[in-house]
Structure 1
Amino acid sequence: MTLIKSISGIRGTIGGKTGENLTPVDVVKFAAAYGTWIRKKSGSTKIVIGRDARPSGDMVNTLVCSTLQGLGIDVIDLGLSTTPTVEMAVPIEKAAGGIIITASHNPVQWNALKLLNEKGEFISAKDGEEMLKIAEKESFEFAQVAKLGTYQKNDTYIQKHIDEILKLSLVDAEAIKAKGFSVVVDAVNSTGGIAVPALLKRLGVKVKELYCTPTGHFPHNPEPLPEHLTDICRELTKGKYDLGIVVDPDVDRLAFISEDGTPFGEEYTLVAVADYVLNASAKKKGNTVSNLSSTRALRDITEKAGGKYFAAPVGEVNVVEAMKENDAIIGGEGNGGVIYPELHYGRDALVGIALFLTQLAKTGLQASRLRAKYPNYIISKNKIELTPTIDVDSVLDQVKKKYKKQPINTADGVKIEFETEWVHLRKSNTEPIIRIYAEADLEVKAEALAKKIIADIKEIITEKAV
């Protein structure tokens, strides 16, 4: 079954049976539910739409736009765009919300509807539950012919997005231009191939485009992990470049490759950008937020800069909420997601690129030297597949009791601290799985900690079965 309905939207594989895959019927149903919810919630009847370049995007986009118009909603279609661009366009247009048609880092057969509120932020759990109830009941009322919504195409927002980034006080375009940087960009043949080179050229950076044609045919697995980035790493080893830049299909995740062809580390994208922002904002000691499964290095550099670090449950909406509550000046997720509220509350690879290049320009450091400045931690990512009859909550509760003398955070599963090491256990919302992330300063130590916890879980399950 590959149709996943959640509070933040709907995603699935294209084709197949209705209710089991993402079919045209499902797209219309959930677009209608979202549009109905928007009409009940807001006085505005305007929604912004944008999509990544995957081959099913045009079809899904047509269905979504037509359905919203059928509800009497006016549609502004950004066409090929990025997730952060749509997020910024919603409040600028004074729209009631937005839909981003993208399956993010999922393979090409997937697509999804990401749902935004009037602030251009992902809808809350409460709002998402209300929208899903509308979809379940199919309680839609479509407009009469005289009150159908309008349709407007607007492809100017990527440039507007870039304009706003260049206005930021911590982005020093002149310093970047003066360095004459040369970079390689891997945009996995999606909309990053439009947006990232456009930004870099405005910053005076020489660009080698690798997979920047927005056909939607991904040349490799689109998740920006080191094992998928061998082509750009190989290009960097030729020695002609200062940096490699990698984004996922909807440009909300960002990874760097150092000048010597070694991955900077997706976890360290946020760490490096936060380090620059924290120390450039000298008049204000800044706080930071990341999710519970992100590297400890962010806490280390935050405390070193005199700020406070806060951990949020996994999920962008949770990180944003914690950032607002704790007046964070930078935050995000360890998957390469940078949230810079001076621009907007959403993961944004474009602003991350501009801030990172400013840091390189001002410090004069090569990317590899900058990476060497930070505490070195390794995260081991594991999972245990369980039978559906096992009570996962009960298992996690037993693990918590076993380590009750350690600092424990239960905001999202169970996270246990061990001096400079930690382990985070979370149950999957869609499968009988416990995800186990462990971090330490050496890979062997992280793996040993993960194996120890896995052994504890298996022992608990065995004891319950007896």
Structure 2
Amino acid sequence: MFGTSGVRGPFGTDVTAELALSIGRAVAAEDADRIVIGRDPRTTGDLLADAAAAGARECGADVIDLGIAATPTIARSVAWQDADVGIAVTASHNPPEDNGIKLWQRSGQAFDEERRERIAERVRADDATAAAWDAVGGRSAWDGAAERHVAAIENAVLGQETAAGADSTGPLANLDVVVDVGNGAGGLTVQALRELGCSVEALNEGPDGRFPSRPSEPTAETLSTLRSVVAATDADLGVAHDGDADRMMAVDETGNFVGGDALLALFAVDAVRSADEAGRQAGTEPRVAAPVNTSLAVDDALAEAGAAVVRTRVGDVFVAERASEPDVVFGGEPSGAWIWPDATLCPDGPLAACRLAAMVAENGPLSALVDDLDSYPIRRDSEEVAEKAATMERIEAAAADTFDDVNDIDGVRVTTDDGWLLLRASGTQPLIRLTAEAREPARADDLLETGHELLDDALAD
């Protein structure tokens, strides 16, 4: 039922009001007395939120309704409202016909696999007990969540004392930013940047769950309007969100899309340099959590900053789990999920947008910051297979016998002195995907060929 991103799929088949009602009941039955609920602007979001709230209230839990809210706002609000659980009704970057439900802890971290499975078991068993007629939960609205989130972002970017004493012009007064909200729930980014002093032009700001202006996922292809606007104006950068604003991607001042690996490297190095100096003097090497498909350029940038990458499975849930460890100062995914664990363990697109703006204001044009990073050739391919799991087991065994540095937490990643190779089964298709990256093009080609040899040998067994 639950994937790493919660329940997600087409409305009316995979995701229904009946399912939302059952999840609300199950969450309340897991000793949740107080629950925060919010949603992105999809057309089916209000009825799913109503159903989840009804299920929770039926089992005695009080519900605090945020209405339309960014997912990071919902996740943060669990602690702000002294609640036990947060329920976000969202399908994130999926198309408008989809919807979903994701559950959040007080720390801002999404439910881990164990907690997701407990909820799923209760839904399957349908064993939630209704409260007595005079003990059902109440429902109240909180319209201050976005404002609280903006204040938290300002404090995180500036420091609490600086934020409290900032003058009306703001510290980023010379910065021009274009924000493509994408008709999603991320409008608070516009407000936060203006509070920091930026001059902001907003695109597609009105919430509309049909996503009429562009597809919800922010990519180089879908952000053509943002790229054109930034290139045609004096803007210093452009930023964009998906439907629930847990993701943030960027465009530099020339209108070029900035890749996720480059953003990860920039954010990670900045976080390392801002890490507690006392901890580093005591011999603790700061680490950054990133998935197995992250570019070698991130490793090299962090090595220069005196830090290291700790690999995770693909998915922001797994990045957040590692980011909760005390020596991890940042976690990120090239897809656009950025986590600062000292702020929240939820990917926070509005916070990322404001941190990027502050970085540009302090260090200069985004294009120059990206140019200072290494960029390496990467090769990708895929092959159709009938038995993904069995094939991957054979690949893992062969790789372990052949190579010294093999990571099998999510597929099979082979690391060499000058590159890496990843073979990973698709989660939705009968495919095994191959990715290879190296510092030289010929070596990237060689690694990809090695991957095909491993796969072909496994298929021949």
Query: 2:22 and 2:270 mapped to 1: Cα distance?
Result: 45
Alignment match, 1:22? 15
Alignment match, 1:337? 337
Alignment match, 1:386? 385
Give the AA of the match of 2:135: K
TM score, norm. by length of structure 1 = 0.89
Cα pair distance change 1:75/1:167, threshold 3 Å: same
Query: 2:391 and 2:214 mapped to 1: Cα distance?
Result: 35
Query: 2:413 and 2:441 mapped to 1: Cα distance?
Result: 19
Alignment match, 2:417? 419
The number of aligned residues is 448
Residue 332 (structure 2) pairs with residue 297 (structure 1): no
Alignment match, 1:195? 188
The percentage of counterpart residues that share the same residue type is 27
Alignment match, 1:274? 268
Query: 1:381 and 1:94 mapped to 2: Cα distance?
Result: 46
Query: 1:237 and 1:169 mapped to 2: Cα distance?
Result: 26
Give the AA of the match of 1:196: T
How far off is 1:139 after superposition?
A: 1.2
**SS class of match (2:250):** strand
Alignment match, 2:222? 228
Q: Counterparts in 2 of 1:171-250, with a 5 A limit?
A: 177-192=171-186, 194-218=187-211, 219-250=213-244
**Structure 2 unaligned blocks of 5 or more:** 281-285
Alignment match, 2:351? 351
Alignment match, 2:9? 12
Alignment match, 1:110? 98
Cα pair distance change 1:282/1:89, threshold 3 Å: closer
Query: 2:105 and 2:172 mapped to 1: Cα distance?
Result: 40
Query: Which one of the candidate residues 29, 37, 62 is aligned to 1:74?
Result: 62
Cα pair distance change 1:33/1:277, threshold 3 Å: same
Name which of structure 1's ranges 21-30 and 261-270 shifts more when overlaid on structure 2.
21-30
Query: 1:231 and 1:395 mapped to 2: Cα distance?
Result: 46
How far off is 1:443 after superposition?
A: 7.3
**SS class of match (1:207):** strand
Give the AA of the match of 2:45: G
How far off is 1:206 after superposition?
A: 1.4
Q: Is residue 297–residue 377 contact of structure 1 (8 Å, CA) maintained in 2?
A: yes
Alignment match, 1:453? 451
Q: Is residue 424–residue 438 contact of structure 1 (8 Å, CA) maintained in 2?
A: yes
**SS class of match (2:262):** helix
Cα pair distance change 1:380/1:116, threshold 3 Å: farther
Alignment match, 1:375? 374
How far off is 1:176 after superposition?
A: 6.4
How far off is 1:8 after superposition?
A: 5.4
Cα RMSD between the aligned structures?
A: 2.4
Cα pair distance change 1:168/1:6, threshold 3 Å: closer
**SS class of match (1:439):** strand
Alignment match, 2:283? none
Query: 1:442 and 1:237 mapped to 2: Cα distance?
Result: 32
**SS class of match (2:303):** helix
Cα pair distance change 1:405/1:178, threshold 3 Å: closer
Give the AA of the match of 2:436: A
How far off is 1:446 after superposition?
A: 4.8
Q: Is residue 236–residue 259 contact of structure 1 (8 Å, CA) maintained in 2?
A: yes
Give the AA of the match of 1:227: E
Alignment match, 1:312? 312
Cα pair distance change 1:326/1:381, threshold 3 Å: farther
Name which of structure 1's ranges 202-211 and 173-182 shifts more when overlaid on structure 2.
173-182
TM score, norm. by length of structure 2 = 0.90
**Structure 1 unaligned blocks of 5 or more:** none
Q: Is residue 324–residue 341 contact of structure 2 (8 Å, CA) maintained in 1?
A: no
Cα pair distance change 1:236/1:455, threshold 3 Å: farther
Alignment match, 1:34? 27
Cα pair distance change 1:390/1:86, threshold 3 Å: closer
How far off is 1:451 after superposition?
A: 5.4
Alignment match, 1:122? 110
**SS class of match (1:146):** coil
Cα pair distance change 1:221/1:446, threshold 3 Å: farther
How far off is 1:13 after superposition?
A: 0.2
